[in-house]
A and B are shown apart, each in its own frame.
Chain A
Amino acid sequence: MQVTIKVFRYNPEKDKKPHYETYQLEADPTDRVLDLLEKVKGYKDGTLSFRRSCAHGVCGSDAMRINGSNKLACKALVHDFGAKITVEPILGLRVIKDLIVDMEPFFDNFRKVLPYFINDDPAPEKERYQSQEDRERFDDTTKCILCAACTTSCPSFWASDEYLGPSAIVNAHRFIFDSRDQGAAQRLKIMNEIMGVSRCHTVFNCTLACPREIQITKAIGEVKKALMTGSLE
């Protein structure tokens, strides 16, 4: 099939302001949007810049706005979008070039929630035992690949990148509800700050945007509940 792909372009060294460029391509309905971008870069315009790495929905490098929705280009199939496809960078982060955005504010927020295992007890001889039931409690939020599709779909994050954002809260949830972890109180204090969970207004954009289908709004709700009750069940 013939596909028209309209791509957001911006080179700060040459362009005064961003613009769109349109390319005509021959594609299979089962091609991915990433394949189209590779074709543009390989055969039409080598200056097109975008991030990609594994190309299989695991590394989270190629989150972008495709026909207005945040998607991973490597998981977005042409037949889901039709013959006219518009590709733009994710919102709320500064565009460095074309589809590449500055991810630093996103990772700053990620680091704020102490996204690592905290347990000051001496390491046991064999393992820090965790039952299957306890592991299941936070299974959903272990799936985050830090692609930023959720955070950059959130109106509160568009308003201010000081808001921790859905992804950081998801990663806090992953450790807060881990039965082996001892840093829940520290993380809940961070969640309780003015730019923490209070800025979430349950818009559900994050849940819709997540390419890993994490129930993000539910996870944020569970963190809010833990803040109110103190229970980590």
Chain B
Amino acid sequence: MKSRTVSMAKRGFNFETTMWIFTRLSALAMYLFALIGVIGALIMGARTQMNMADLIRWTFMPNPNHVLNTNVADLVPWSTAFWKLTGSAFVFFAASHGLHGVLSVIEDYLTHPGLRKFLRLVVFVILVVMTAIGIYVLWTS
């Protein structure tokens, strides 16, 4: 069988394709961040025998406020730039992954070009605002 390929320039690479790939990769990224979160919490919370609920809460939102009311005595390891960066990336991927899902539903059901463009803009604004608020909370707590 002879090899047949079509170059990127010829087959086109647009927003649909980019977001199709991004949505899949962002899902994988979230699994990775959740894994990092659960391993980190297990290591940091081992001495205080952190319970399951607190562990899971940290896994999906590594915000030091979330361990403030637990029996964790020293908050310093939970407040490092590493965890803030991890949390920020998690917020960004979760918001963009979820909102691309919303966008897919909009584009499935709405065909009017003007309305579709407007709702794309609304989704983009929600993405920026949600991500900004999430990151602000993470870096100021």
Chain A residues with CB under 8 Å of chain B are 131, 133-134, 137, 155-156, 159-160, 162-163, 179, 184-185, 188-189, 192-194, 196, 198-199, 201, 224, 226-233
Contacts and interface: CB of A to CB of B under 8 A. Distances in A.
Given A179-B1, A188-B12, A233-B1, A224 B20 contact: yes
Nearest to A199: B108
Given A185-B11, A193-B16, A224-B20, A233 B4 contact: yes
User: Which 10 residue pairs are nearest across A and B when measured between Cβ atoms?
Assistant: A185-B10, A232-B4, A188-B11, A198-B16, A189-B12, A159-B109, A230-B6, A159-B108, A192-B12, A185-B6
A179 B17 contact: no
Contacts of A231: 4-5
Contact of A228 (B7, B10, B21): B21
Q: Which interface residue of A133, A155, A192, A224 has the most chain B CB atoms within 10 A?
A: A192
B104 interface: yes
A228 B22 CA distance: 12
B21 A133 contact: no
Contacts of A229: 5
Given A196-B16, A201-B104, A233-B4, A162 B11 contact: no
Contacts of B1: 131, 133-134, 137, 179, 233
B8 interface: yes
Contacts, number: 71
Interface of B: 1-8, 10-14, 16-17, 20-21, 104, 107-109, 111
Given A189-B10, A198-B16, 20 more contacts: A131-B1, A133-B1, A155-B108, A159-B109, A160-B111, A162-B111, A184-B4, A184-B6, A188-B12, A189-B12, A192-B11, A192-B12, A192-B13, A192-B16, A192-B17, A193-B16, A198-B20, A199-B107, A226-B6, A230-B5
Contact of B8 (A131, A201, A230): A230
A105 B17 CA distance: 25
Nearest to B19: A198
A198 B109 CA distance: 13
A230 B16 contact: no
A226 B20 CA distance: 13
